């Protein structure tokens, strides 16, 4: 799994494990899909957090799941190698969620990073600063804070006269003066593991919802003589929690911009950065140019020196180098070799494989087919379930009739064959090497190499008939 972050090498970061809270339902999304699986720039929302943990090199990553647990396991299985799942069968608050990891981390004496699965904009720089501060100051807990112009709805950070952390006060319990505080708790923590789990057992249910909340651990640690440190996130968007569709859109805008900025820093030209959409899973080679309104989705890999023109959409495909995709093309689950030209307004459906220097022209559709090196399918053509050799030319309006109503059949066109315009190739059928098929033919049988095939009715001319028809029409 890749992302907008730069991969790191080396051993795990000290003695650090991560717990990712991902058990909640989030009713404000108004969705049948659990919140953390909502897609965000090519990945489920929570996968951005898991990728951060991988980049940091934590020893173990535990994901606490609950609502739609089976669905979460299934969705993350191919994306989250090495992740361990912990089930919170009954969702009783954030402290209760973290407590579910205690038995899995039994005997662990290091530090625990606690993250939320709905905070996908975190950067490794901020979390590294959190962990570094935690280790340097030797405190029992370190939390991330940020400042908001409108902190309504958030717990406020209270500090003493020296500026040290004193407490978190929830808005409903805050005085008017405390409500004017702009610094809020971002819900991202680093704890000493033994101290954390000991304190979790002493957390009492809230008086309103009867749930166990993780911030209640902090006063318990202070009461036991522990110190609390804080790290300020300068950009509040980095700790944005996703609870609504509007916040999901806001997070997508940030991730999209980060991805485009990274590509440009690596040598990709984006003519209109504000309209380029590139998945976190995608790669784009240097000296490639993306025109406005290009969408690159899923695990797409685009080589060097390519040109992707306006309005094209490429998903889960691999393009070689120096490929030109003209305006308005759709390419899905296909492979395109070096120096191909596609479009405008062409459609490569899943299973299309274009060899080097293939030309696919306007309003051409290709599906589950291999098109050999140097071959051309210039206009208004359908190629499905076919194998074309090298240097084949397919005329305008040609179709491979691959489906008989029950089964798909193969069409094979060998090297250097020429298919005339408006031809129907009724599969299964083979066109031999160097053969020529006359325009307007319906081919139902094999055409031998170097043969010329005519598959059309003989033309008949009726002299003078046109004048007679015009005369008769004029009488009406």
Condensed to tens digits (0 to 9), the pLDDT of residues 224-254 reads 999 999 999 999 999 999 999 999 999 999 9
Lowest mean pLDDT among 171-180, 218-227, 323-332, 467-476: 467-476
| Mean pLDDT estimate for the chain | 93
72 Cβ contact partners less than 8 Å away, ≥ 6 residues apart: 22, 34, 36, 37, 46, 63, 65, 85
Spatial distance between the Cα atoms of 217 and 202, rounded to a whole number of angstroms: 8
Query: Are 416 and 435 in contact, with CB atoms under 8 Å apart?
Result: no
Examine the residue annotation and report whether 140 is marked as an active-site residue of this protein: no
Axis crossing angle, helix 45-56 with helix 124-137, rounded to the nearest 10: 50
Task: Give pLDDT tens digits for 394-430.
Answer: 999 999 999 999 999 999 999 999 999 999 999 999 9
Confidence class for position 476, pLDDT limits 50, 70, 90: low
pLDDT tens, position by position, 117-160:
999 999 999 999 999 999 999 999 999 999 999 998 889 999 99
What pLDDT, on a 0 to 100 scale, did the predictor assign at position 442? 96
Single pTM value for the model: 0.88
Annotated catalytic residue within 347, 353, 379, 409: 379
Query: What structural domains and CATH numbers belong to the chain?
Result: 16-239 (3.90.550.10), 259-453 (2.160.10.10)
Among residues 34, 57, 46, 124, the alpha carbon closest in space to that of 80 is found at 46
pLDDT, position 90: 86
């Amino acid at each position: 799994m890749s992302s907008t972050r730069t991969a790191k090498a080396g051993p795990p970061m000290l003695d650090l494990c991560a717990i990712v809270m991902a058990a909640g339902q989030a009713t404000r999304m108004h969705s049948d899909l659990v919140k953390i699986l909502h897609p965000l720039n090519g990945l489920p929302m929570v996968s951005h957090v898991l990728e951060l943990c991988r980049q940091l090199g934590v020893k173990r990553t535990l994901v606490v799941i609950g609502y739609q647990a089976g669905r979460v396991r299934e969705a993350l299985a191919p994306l989250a190698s090495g992740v361990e799942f912990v089930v919170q069968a009954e969702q009783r608050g954030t402290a209760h969620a973290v407590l579910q990891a205690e038995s899995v981390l039994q005997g662990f004496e290091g530090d625990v990073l606690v993250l939320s699965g709905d905070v996908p904009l975190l950067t490794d720089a901020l979390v590294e600063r959190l962990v570094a501060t935690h280790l340097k100051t030797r405190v029992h807990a370190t939390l991330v804070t940020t400042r908001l112009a409108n902190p309504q709805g958030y717990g406020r950070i209270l500090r003493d006269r020296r500026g040290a952390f004193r407490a978190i006060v929830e808005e409903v319990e805050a005085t008017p003066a405390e409500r004017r505080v702009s610094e809020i708790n971002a819900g991202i923590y680093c704890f000493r593991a033994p101290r954390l789990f000991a304190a979790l057992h002493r957390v009492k249910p809230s008086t309103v919802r009867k749930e166990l909340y993780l911030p209640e651990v902090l006063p318990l640690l202070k009461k036991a003589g522990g110190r609390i440190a804080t790290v300020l996130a300068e950009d509040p968007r980095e700790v944005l929690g996703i609870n609504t569709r509007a916040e999901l859109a806001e997070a997508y805008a940030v991730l999209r911009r980060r991805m485009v900025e990274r590509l440009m820093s690596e040598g990709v030209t984006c003519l209109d950065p504000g309209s380029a959409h590139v998945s976190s899973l995608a790669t784009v080679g240097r000296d490639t140019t993306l025109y406005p309104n290009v969408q690159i989705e899923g695990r797409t890999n685009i080589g060097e020196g390519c040109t992707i023109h306006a309005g094209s959409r490429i998903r889960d495909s691999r393009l070689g180098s120096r490929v030109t995709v003209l305006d308005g093309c759709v390419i899905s689950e296909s492979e395109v070799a070096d120096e191909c030209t596609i479009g405008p307004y062409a459609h490569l459906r899943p299973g299309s494989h274009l060899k080097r220097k293939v030309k696919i022209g306007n309003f051409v559709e290709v599906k589950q087919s291999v098109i050999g090196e140097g071959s051309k399918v210039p206009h208004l053509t359908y190629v499905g379930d076919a194998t074309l050799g090298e240097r084949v030319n397919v005329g305008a309006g040609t179709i491979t009739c691959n489906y008989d109503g029950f089964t798909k059949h193969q069409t094979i066109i060998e090297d250097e064959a020429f298919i005339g315009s408006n031809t129907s190739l009724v599969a299964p059928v083979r066109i031999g090497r160097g053969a020529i098929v006359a325009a307007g033919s319906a081919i139902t049988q094999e055409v031998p190499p170097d043969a010329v095939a005519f598959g059309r009715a003989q033309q008949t001319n009726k002299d003078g008939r046109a004048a007679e028809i015009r005369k008769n029409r004029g009488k009406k």
